[in-house]
Structure 1
Amino acid sequence: MPDPTALIPHDKSGLRLSRLSLGTAPLGGLYAPVSEAQAREVLEAAWGQGLRYFDTAPQYGNGTAERRLGGFLRDQPRAAFVLSTKVGRLLREGPPHPSQVDPEGHSYYQGVPQVMQVYDYSYRGVLRSLEESLERLGLARVDILYVHDPDADNRSVEEVMRGGYRALVELRQQGLVQAIGVGMNHADWLAEFARSGDFDLLLLAGRYTLLDQAALRELLPLCHHKGIGVVVGGVYNSGILADPRPGARYDYVPAQPELLQRALRLQAVCEAHGVPLKAAAIQFALGHPSVVSVLTGVRSREELEENLRMFRWEVPPELWGHLRREGLLDYDTPIPGG
């Protein structure tokens, strides 16, 4: 039975990440408010279940997720967990940046202070971002520092490498962080970063899933060659692989009909083997040797327990073979246990 709490060692960074890890965007009020008590309950449950890698960012709830996570982790032994946050967005007074609101003008994060997120991937901006994150977290250090979605503000790889990357390397050299990386949902951009710098870990969202294996073309082989660990998020592709139905989200917006039909075909194969689609989706990415953790965000204890149950579900090898025969997975796609 797959163990979500097993620690996977990563040679390049020296870190050990739990196979299943906790992302905190929902705890920052993504799409709907989350109370302080509810967030604390989720964090306590995750810790009690043995999850030991936690990811956050200034963006999540405009600093709310960092404050909530730090308030919990300060009570835990520092050597017992791995913590990552991100750089590239500074929180300042002012109207929200257009990227902070949906097409109807509603904030993506509800029930939290509304501030301006200022994109800054410069050398000084990265140092300032980490300093402010540590203040919100109430901790002396983080283990992993990711550059956050530079594509969201049309920043080039070259610009980040000239500015913020230098700061990341210095922070690692000084022992202020143990690992550096980039987090985004564009596999091709991440491959360019992997070629351009000395990164330890990359956080890839939504591009190595049952529905989208774009990362197999270049990124994952490159990471395997360079010893870069990959943390995979977005394994449900914003919800369509959790519950494929009309109106289900893919990449945070309603899914196109062809994607919904493909998700329904995936679900039908899983049902033929007595396996929930969510179980196959949450386990799939760990079939690749470069993947060191699957990152999932939840807003309630019930969602956390459901993810744990899906992660522990016994998925028969025949299911993966069936997906290949149906043309839903390429034959050279690595599979769990394969």
Structure 2
Amino acid sequence: MTKLDVPTPHLGGERLLGDTGLTVSPIIAGAAGWRRRDDGSGSDPEETAALVQAMTKDGLVTVIDTANNYGFGASERRVSWALNQVEGAADRLLVQTKADRAPGTDDFSARQMRRSLEESMERLGVDRLPMVYLHDPENTTWELAMDDDGPVAALVAAQQEGLIGGLGISGGPATLLRQFIDTGHFQAVITHNRFTLVDRSADALLTVAADAGLGVLNAAPYGGGVLTRWPRQSTRYAYGEAPLAMLRSIDEIGHICAEAGVPIAAAALQWSLRDPRITGTVVGMERVDDYARTLDLAAMHIDDGLWGEIEAVELDPRTWQDAHEN
């Protein structure tokens, strides 16, 4: 594994996650892939344990992000197994999860939220979840979400009972996440694919959340993979085909980075890490190699001149994830 030799401000200590009392590292390990998929892809248990061992030893990435529905529970079970394989890991690493609707449905009822929490506690082998996010509320209506028998009331009640510590909101459309933030119930927010080198859908959300004192986590800084290398090996951004105008912007940024001798992945990751509004950046990792590469990308020097060129690249807001909301 590559060991960081050069200190970087992007990995400088933990930050408070809003007013939860919890601290998080600038980089957070996304555990959606901590499982073996039906097609044979994914990581083996031993690879996950090695990753947890590296995280525990280095202390640079101290948070694992999972969810009830990642792999229909396989991710949470793998997280628990790996933590139990490494001495001290359970004490040194924070596991945050998400409360999900019933698989294959849009059931966000209070009963389902309680079931989701109970499943997560059983899989993770704990009797209390330190940090829980309501996951993907765009799959229900605002009225149902805020109903007395809805997910928000259920999770607030669970927090009051002490079943969960901090309460956050995690989802897609930035405008919707702002509505949930305005209720005052949430202490942190996770946005994904909406604040990257080529998509600024969540820009206003970051400001609102940070100004309100919430913990702000930015997930999927690589836009699902298209920003991990250049020349591009994909035409997909997030969960669909990228518009041609977005691909042109990616290629322009990729060319600028290549001319400067900087991988586009380093710029994509540091675009999130360098933003003072963002508490932590969630990066999918499955193996020690992923972990080492992430740290190397975070440590890479990018001068102000290159950032200026990147910021000067014209973006088309119509290509952004939340363009349909405007």
In the alignment, what sits opposite 1:87?
Answer: 99
Structure 2 contact 10–273 (Cα < 8 Å) conserved: no
**Secondary structure in structure 2 of the residue aligned to 1:209:** coil
In the alignment, what sits opposite 1:230?
Answer: 216
Task: Give the 3 Å change call, closer, same or farther, for CA 309–88 of structure 1 in structure 2.
Answer: same
In the alignment, what sits opposite 2:70?
Answer: 60
Cα deviation for residue 76 of structure 1 reads: 3.0
C-alpha distance in 1 between matches for 2:243 and 2:200 = 17
Matched, 1:144 2:128: no
**Secondary structure in structure 1 of the residue aligned to 2:196:** coil
In the alignment, what sits opposite 2:323?
Answer: none
Report the residue type matching 2:16 in the other structure: P
In the alignment, what sits opposite 1:335?
Answer: none
Matched, 1:267 2:276: no
Structure 2 contact 66–96 (Cα < 8 Å) conserved: yes
Matched, 1:304 2:291: yes
Cα deviation for residue 277 of structure 1 reads: 0.9
Cα deviation for residue 246 of structure 1 reads: 5.0
In the alignment, what sits opposite 1:320?
Answer: 307
Task: Give the 3 Å change call, closer, same or farther, for CA 73–240 of structure 1 in structure 2.
Answer: same
- List per-residue Cα deviations over 1:130-166 (Å, max 9, x = no partner): 1111101112222211111122x3x012311221111
Matched, 1:170 2:180: no
Deviates more, 1:29-38 or 1:240-249: 29-38
Higher RCO (CA-CA < 8 Å; seq separation 6+): 2
**Secondary structure in structure 1 of the residue aligned to 2:70:** coil
Report the residue type matching 1:231 in the other structure: L
Structure 2 contact 53–89 (Cα < 8 Å) conserved: no
Report the residue type matching 1:15 in the other structure: L
TM-score for the superposition, normalised by structure 2: 0.85
* Aligned length, in residue pairs: 302
Report the residue type matching 1:210 in the other structure: L
Task: Give the 3 Å change call, closer, same or farther, for CA 174–284 of structure 1 in structure 2.
Answer: same
In the alignment, what sits opposite 1:196?
Answer: 183
Task: Give the 3 Å change call, closer, same or farther, for CA 64–49 of structure 1 in structure 2.
Answer: same
For residues 237-276 of structure 1, the aligned pairs below 5 Å read 237-244=223-230, 245=232, 247-276=234-263
Structure 1 contact 83–144 (Cα < 8 Å) conserved: yes
Matched, 1:37 2:24: no
Report the residue type matching 2:49 in the other structure: R
Task: Give the 3 Å change call, closer, same or farther, for CA 35–188 of structure 1 in structure 2.
Answer: same
C-alpha distance in 1 between matches for 2:229 and 2:186 = 35
C-alpha distance in 2 between matches for 1:63 and 1:71 = 12
Cα deviation for residue 241 of structure 1 reads: 0.6
Task: Give the 3 Å change call, closer, same or farther, for CA 138–41 of structure 1 in structure 2.
Answer: same
Match of 1:25 among 12, 32, 35: 32
In the alignment, what sits opposite 1:161?
Answer: 146
Structure 2 contact 167–187 (Cα < 8 Å) conserved: yes
Q: For structure 2, which runs of at least 5 residues remain unmatched after alignment?
A: 1-7, 318-326
Q: What is the RMSD computed on CA atoms of the aligned residues?
A: 2.3
In the alignment, what sits opposite 1:126?
Answer: 113
Cα deviation for residue 88 of structure 1 reads: 2.0
Match of 1:221 among 197, 201, 207: 207
Cα deviation for residue 223 of structure 1 reads: 0.7
**Secondary structure in structure 2 of the residue aligned to 1:89:** coil
TM-score for the superposition, normalised by structure 1: 0.82
C-alpha distance in 2 between matches for 1:134 and 1:290 = 31
Cα deviation for residue 120 of structure 1 reads: 2.7
Report the residue type matching 2:143 in the other structure: E
Report the residue type matching 1:76 in the other structure: G
Report the residue type matching 2:73 in the other structure: G
